[in-house]
Structure 1
Amino acid sequence: MDKIMELRDKRVKLWEEAKNFLDSHTDEDGKLSAEDAAAYEKMEADVVEMKKAIDRLERQAAIDRELDKPTSKPITNQPENAKPAGGFRATDEYKQDMLTAMRTRFRNISNVLQEGNDQQGGYLVPVEYDNRLIDVLNEENIMRSLATKITTSGEHKINIAATKPAAAWIEEGGALTFGDATFDQIMMDAYKLHIAIKITEELLYDNAFNLESYVIEQFGKAMANAEEDAFLNGDGKGKPTGLFHETLGGQATCTTNTANISADDVINLIYTLKRPYRRNASFIINDQTISALRKLKDNNGAYIWQPAVIAGEPDRLFGYALHTSQYAPAGGAGKPILAFGDYSYYNIGDRGSRSMQQLRELFAGNGMVGYLMKERVDGRLILPEAVQILKVKGGA
């Protein structure tokens, strides 16, 4: 391909030289001398021949690409019926065979499971399981309900407008001024999160025990807790970068007037956030700080806390929704205590499906079976100004 581009550049230059030669050697009647005509025809012939050479190389490259394609695909044992929409992981057969494999310590495996087979004994979670696990994560993890979720297949680049051009008034006939529009990039990777549980063989072999619900619930809650902690407090080293990160999280431009939070501090925080972000803004706060906020009153002695009037709706503070998390910082001198912003600018990147693996021999001696669930995920606030952080007065 580099050779083709090189020849194209040479052909363009050669044609420009031929046209310039013709312009400079033509007399007033548009005629050339016999010697100049021969020279021009030679240059023109070279341009035509170079086009033929380029065409040959392009045909050669096309043939090479065709020959590089695989001539066959691996043979796999699949049911005779047509593959259903969503793949075999979405079928009831796959789900039942997954449960059978788990209860028999993966000794009884049917052909339906071959789609998810790997050399380590791992199996892709059936589609229904995966969706229900996401439901658990969304319910337990406040950041998954507030942030923007994307699915990535590799390292993901997010383009950010670093600076924007500004308009300026000029006098009639005055000189124009030009502003620069610059752009930056944020990279999202995928960090591995795993959860392992142990199940006694008695429970595993007892069909009366709802193993399916137990596994999904335990995995879902554990994953949700680990994710929410990382999405809020992660340092970006082997885990996502949290919303409260000192330099890569929200902007910590507000500080309380005293060691205790007041209504004035909350108002200052709200109006530090730029107006466009306030449209979809809400608070994130630790459970321990709620007690102090619920006691805040206005000048008329009325509590500024607004309890939700509809079941399932969040409480409100100064008209904005308030979300609580046990992983949000609890404050302390110089420490963050409250976040306010539009959390859709926090991106959560999921890398593919979750997988389950049986730990065959690790717990064999004590009559238990282990199961391991793994996922790869990253999170990053892509626009720090969209979230403002309130810190407690005192400390560095």
Structure 2
Amino acid sequence: MNKILELREKRAKAWDAAKAFLDAKRGGDGLLSAEDTATYEKMENEVVALGKEIERLERQAVIDLELSKATSNPITNAPTKVAEEKTGRASAEYKKAFWSAMRTRAGEGLDPTVRNALQIGTDSEGGYLVPDEFERTLVEALEDENIFRTLANVITTSSGDRKIPVVATKGTAAWIDEEGTIPESDDSFGQVSIGAYKLGTLIKVSEELLNDSVFDLEAYISREFARRIGNKEEEAFFTGDGSGKPTGILATTGGAQVGVTTASATAITMDEVLDLFYSLKAPYRNRAVFVMNDATVKAIRKLKDGQGQYLWQPSVQAGTPDTILNRPLYTSAYVPTIAASAKTIVFGDFSYYWVADRQGRVFKRLNELYAVTGQVGFVATQRVDGKLILPEAIKVLQQKA
């Protein structure tokens, strides 16, 4: 942790030096010479590199903390009490049976005890629902790969579409003369329907590796599934068009409202960022965050507010994101970079974007398909949908066409 704080302080000092250099070298027209531009970009790249190293160390610290936890809990209850046995897919029996089935060699039958235990989680499509304990690990891994899940409202549905009631328009009060009639003013309601789209991936493992007891099959599949699914999810949550995938925040239909259109197709000004900030209604700004591409952050680093302070401010506190106009800043590779007509900055309260997980993620083992190459395939699928249920809660900045 001390190392992280040292790097944060070092990054803050490097950023102060870069700002001082930028202010000192700007000419009367506000531009830098080619030589000074190269020097500044080198200083800025150091700030970016320090930021990425901080992120790596923070992820490492989380993993170290998890691995340092005790593997067993001390006995604190009375001797006469027995710990409650977990049932269903959370039971130790089901977990053991699941991974025994995953490791069973092609052509070998399952032990009757294993087969009976797996009946608890047999999926209608022939796969096995992953154990509850593993599913919790999997969701945590998805969040590590996918910043969207940490910001959005994640719900779990069992079957069918989820209908979410939304107040479309609100009634108002009115001044009334003595003995006058109170006018009617009703709220109008709509609803957003969230379904489930299927997302899947195929993982191949050699038979030698699969049957090696030293190889941590659980960790490998969890990590690889998380990486693939997390990346594809986040792409859809931002840019999905609702056709065979979730409706993303940047979708033309069903997405966020355009708060500001820039005057330039290739640049963003400080006034336009401020206009975007205030295009969002005040109640939403309390929990709003900025999300943009790393390349866009680089362009904004040179902008100042009306008090001469740079809009982008590096965080010096561990676990706290950088800020723009005192609101948290997150980056995603799936928000477009600056280009004509691109939606480059997202600002709003992401809790109004709902991610619906259809309960249970499914694994299937493919024994024969890759037998000639000495491999075993694992098909991993999940069903998920996502929609912005209140478009006014998030605004986007769009570049000029």
TM-score, normalised via structure 2 length: 0.74
Q: Could you tell me how far apart the structure 2 residues matched to 1:176 and 1:89 are? A: 58
How many residue pairs get aligned? The number is: 313
Task: State the partner residue of 2:239.
Answer: 233
Task: State the partner residue of 1:185.
Answer: 191
Q: 1:243 to 1:352 in 2, by over 3 A?
A: same
Residue 136 (structure 1) aligned with residue 137 (structure 2): no
Aligned partner letter, 2:384 = V
Task: State the partner residue of 2:46.
Answer: none
Task: State the partner residue of 1:14.
Answer: none
Task: State the partner residue of 1:115.
Answer: 120
Aligned partner letter, 2:378 = Y
Residue 276 (structure 1) aligned with residue 283 (structure 2): yes
Residue 208 (structure 1) aligned with residue 210 (structure 2): no
Q: Deviations over 1:355-388 (max 9, x none)?
A: 1101222111111110011111110000000000
Contact 1:280 1:341 in 2 (8 A): yes
Q: Could you tell me how far apart the structure 2 residues matched to 1:305 and 1:287 are? A: 12
Contact 1:331 1:391 in 2 (8 A): no
* Structure 2: tracts of 5 or more residues without a match: 1-81
In our comparison, the structure showing a higher alpha carbon Rg is 1
Q: Could you tell me how far apart the structure 1 residues matched to 2:190 and 2:382 are? A: 28
Contact 1:105 1:358 in 2 (8 A): no
- Structure 1 residue aligned with 2:171, among 165, 173, 176? 165
Q: Report the secondary structure of 1:334's partner residue.
A: coil
Aligned partner letter, 1:343 = F
Q: By how many angstroms is 1:294 displaced?
A: 1.7
Q: Could you tell me how far apart the structure 2 residues matched to 1:291 and 1:168 are? A: 50
Q: Deviations over 1:247-286 (max 9, x none)?
A: 2111013112323012111110010000110010001111
- Structure 1 residue aligned with 2:152, among 147, 151, 154? 147
- Structure 2 residue aligned with 1:195, among 201, 220, 229? 201
Q: Report the secondary structure of 1:194's partner residue.
A: strand
Q: By how many angstroms is 1:174 displaced?
A: 3.2
Q: Report the secondary structure of 2:346's partner residue.
A: strand
Q: By how many angstroms is 1:300 displaced?
A: 6.0
Q: Report the secondary structure of 2:167's partner residue.
A: strand
**Larger deviation, residues 174-183 vs 377-386:** 174-183
Q: Could you tell me how far apart the structure 2 residues matched to 1:177 and 1:85 are? A: 61
Residue 380 (structure 1) aligned with residue 387 (structure 2): yes
Contact 1:345 1:386 in 2 (8 A): yes
Contact 2:259 2:280 in 1 (8 A): no
Q: Could you tell me how far apart the structure 2 residues matched to 1:297 and 1:184 are? A: 42
Q: By how many angstroms is 1:112 displaced?
A: 2.4
Q: Could you tell me how far apart the structure 1 residues matched to 2:301 and 2:240 are? A: 28
Aligned partner letter, 1:173 = E
Task: State the partner residue of 2:303.
Answer: 296
Aligned partner letter, 2:387 = R
Q: By how many angstroms is 1:139 displaced?
A: 1.6
Q: Could you tell me how far apart the structure 1 residues matched to 2:394 and 2:354 are? A: 13
Q: 1:140 to 1:301 in 2, by over 3 A?
A: same
Task: State the partner residue of 1:266.
Answer: 273
Q: Could you tell me how far apart the structure 2 residues matched to 1:385 and 1:120 are? A: 40
Aligned partner letter, 1:242 = G
- Structure 1 residue aligned with 2:130, among 111, 115, 125? 125
Q: Could you tell me how far apart the structure 1 residues matched to 2:343 and 2:127 are? A: 41
Q: By how many angstroms is 1:85 displaced?
A: 5.0
Q: Could you tell me how far apart the structure 2 residues matched to 1:353 and 1:118 are? A: 9
Q: By how many angstroms is 1:336 displaced?
A: 0.5
Q: 1:299 to 1:385 in 2, by over 3 A?
A: closer
Contact 1:88 1:112 in 2 (8 A): no
Q: By how many angstroms is 1:218 displaced?
A: 0.1
Across the aligned residues of Structure 1 and Structure 2, the Cα RMSD in angstroms comes to 2.0
Task: State the partner residue of 2:67.
Answer: none
Q: 1:353 to 1:83 in 2, by over 3 A?
A: farther
Task: State the partner residue of 1:70.
Answer: none
Q: 1:251 to 1:120 in 2, by over 3 A?
A: closer
Aligned partner letter, 2:89 = R
